[in-house]
A and B are shown apart, each in its own frame.
Chain A
Amino acid sequence: MSRPRPRLPIPKIDPDRPPPGPFQPGFWRSPLRSPRLTAILGLVLLVGLPVVAITGLLSNDAYQPGLGGNALGRDTGGPLDFYLFGWPSSPSWLYAFTQGLHVTLGLALFPVVLAKLWSVIPKLFEWPPVRSPAHALERATLALLVGGALFEFVTGILNIQYWYAFKFSFTQAHYYGAWVFIGALIAHVTIKLGTLRRSLTTREDVIAAAGEHGSLISPNPARATMSRRALLTGVGGASAILFLQGVGQSVGGPLRGLAFLLPRGRTKTGPLGFQVNKTWASNGLPVSVVSDSWRLTVTGRTTVRLTREQLMAMPHCTHSLPIACVEGWSTTQHWTGVPVTELAKLVGITGPATLTSVSVEKSNYGSATLGHEQVSNGRTILAYAVNGRPLPLDHGYPARVIGPAIPGVHCTKWVSEMHFTELST
């Protein structure tokens, strides 16, 4: 006779008996949580997040990763690397605007995202954890949504503050992370749009009485010590302060002081009183490489070498153009230099062409390729002076590229080579 084997106690999931702790509906006691609060926060995000997402995708477009080495080693042949259009070169403040909007709105929505996550936290512990295959799949998309949102906001917010705590390429991680977030957001909106509408139009006592699955209203609420309006005031107040931080560093001028909690709101600035993106000292090169021995090599159908004096003797012009950084700050100055179309003519190129400008400094963005839209625009210049003064070393002496709607790091500084490549027609 064999004795019955002792059975291992397998914890049984009883859908009607949640384990103690956060799985108990009564554990969450804030009287402020409700479908309406979540819907209000959701509605703000529904309007704001698409703007952040689209301006972010536009920034990727503005970098034109399909040209030259602009992708910084990223393979742009993947399914998520599609580019609907080249990047326009007008108006000149286009990139300053789209990227300023991306960063400013991103900062302002950060508190709203956190409040939204707080408002739905009981759902993380809903019981039973899985009701059906559909429910399981939806919860998986929510993991992608929450992870994607936090990943995008955190990497973006750290990046604009120069804290590279992460060991991955920011552009690559932030770009593909954005797609995870966008995909999950679309799914979430598709699934929840009805709930959003219902939560905004149905009276709360009706929703509570219906006792819908995972209703966010606490069954034993704590005594209220603040109103829902007070909560929204707090979240909105933080949003407003962060919004002004973004506005300050993006609009600049007299408003720059508003960004008093960000690196680019600084009251002290670089030489000639405006912001420097990358200092000469940071590249560690001796000054001799840009002193008298400096020559500019221009290639196209022919090759020409110019001294700084020869460059300055060419037809020149002065334009008011922004340095517009991906970090969301910008500063507009008066730049004087030779239109790149003149340099193109010098080497026998008159048709549409791309331009790769190479710096004496060889790090990331030590070279950049501009599309034909920028190259053919007469306001894209190789500048040798700014605000009527010779370029300071920190701003790219002896010569730098500057032009309309070009992302800051593509305005190559300390340029030593310019290569024009004709577009095959």
Chain B
Amino acid sequence: MKLLRQRYGGGPGQLLATIACFAIAGAAVVGWSQRHKDFEAVLIWFAAAIVLHDLVLLPLYSLLDRVTVARLPAQAAAYVRVPALICGLVLLAVFPTVLGFGAHTAQHASGVTEHGYLARWLALTGVVFLISGLAYVISGRRSESASVAE
């Protein structure tokens, strides 16, 4: 056991857990590769998901955040970042609908054409920023009255 820790650098539980993880992934690869053409696309999507998230999406939104924060007065930054975070995360989940990417197939399936998703998301964004703006005003008043009280 001591040898395992020295040479391997981890305990038996860690080793078992990682081996089980690879075994299951191997079995999943067997399942995926049933359709050869699919398999290639699946692997590309799997790898692309990691690369696009870790090396593109995350640096991009971090940069956007940094640039925005630098232009804002410090006490107002949170009241822009939080609503932007909310609306950005929502958009990330529903952008295919908001931007109409699935609209044709959806129309085919349901027989109904519906527009205006972008306007709805913009309206949601407006409301969330409005609430945040109100919170900012209220917090400003509070700190003002607090400093008056002092």
Contact = CB atoms under 8 A, between A and B. Distances in A.
Given A186-B20, A242-B90, A132 B81 contact: no
A183 B20 contact: yes
A143 B110 contact: no
Contact of A180 (B15, B28, B114): B28
Contact of A168 (B27, B38, B120): B38
A276 B30 contact: no
B60 interface: no
B10 interface: yes
Identify which of B13, B21, B31, B120 gathers the most chain A CB atoms within 10 Å of its CB.
B21
B102 A163 contact: yes
A310 interface: no
Contacts of B35: 73, 168-169, 172
A111 B89 CA distance: 6
Interface stretch (A93-101, A258-266, A300-308, A375-383): A258-266
A230 B45 contact: no
Contact of B74 (A150, A182, A190, A225): A225
Given A146-B50, A261-B117, A275-B110, A234 B81 contact: yes
B53 to A, nearest CB: 6
A73 B37 CA distance: 14
Given A168-B35, A177-B28, A183-B24, A191 B17 contact: yes
Contacts of B89: 110-111, 114, 234-235, 238, 242
A325 B90 CA distance: 23
A389 interface: no
A350 interface: no
A308 to B, nearest CB: 23
A179 B131 CA distance: 41
Interface in A203-222: none
A141 B111 contact: no
A267 B46 CA distance: 35
A180 B20 CA distance: 11
Interface residue range, chain B: 35 or more
A118 B50 CA distance: 13
A162 B24 CA distance: 29
Nearest to A173: B42
Contact of B81 (A143, A226, A269): A226
A169 B35 CA distance: 9
B143 interface: no
B63 interface: no
Given A191-B17, A226-B82, A146 B54 contact: yes
Nearest to B21: A187
Given A263-B106, A270-B112, A233 B82 contact: yes
Contacts of A172: 31-32, 34-35, 38
Nearest to A226: B78
B53 A117 contact: yes
Nearest to B98: A261
B105 A164 contact: yes
Interface stretch (A38-46, A153-161, A338-346): A153-161
Contacts of B110: 263-264, 266, 269-270, 275-277, 279
A135 B9 CA distance: 7
Interface string A45-81: 0000000000000000000000000000111001111
Contacts of A270: 110-112
Contacts of B46: 147-148, 151, 177
A261 B128 CA distance: 15
Contact of A137 (B18, B38, B58, B96): B18
A261 B120 contact: yes
B96 to A, nearest CB: 4
Contacts of B72: 225
Contacts of B13: 190-191
A179 B87 CA distance: 31
A23 B110 CA distance: 50
B67 interface: no
Contacts of A148: 46
A241 B112 CA distance: 24
B149 interface: no
A162 B101 CA distance: 8
B31 A263 contact: no
B116 to A, nearest CB: 9
A394 B8 contact: no
B124 A241 contact: yes
Interface string B77-111: 11001110111111011101110011101101111
24 contacts: A111-B89, A117-B54, A133-B8, A134-B9, A146-B54, A155-B45, A157-B96, A163-B101, A167-B37, A172-B31, A172-B38, A176-B31, A180-B25, A183-B23, A183-B24, A186-B21, A191-B13, A225-B69, A230-B78, A237-B128, A241-B124, A263-B102, A268-B112, A270-B110
Given A107-B93, A161-B102, A245-B94, 13 more contacts: A80-B27, A117-B54, A137-B14, A137-B15, A144-B25, A167-B38, A176-B28, A187-B21, A190-B17, A227-B78, A238-B93, A266-B114, A271-B111
Please give me the 5 A-B residue pairs with the lowest Cβ-Cβ distance, nearest first. A132-B9, A134-B10, A183-B24, A234-B85, A162-B102
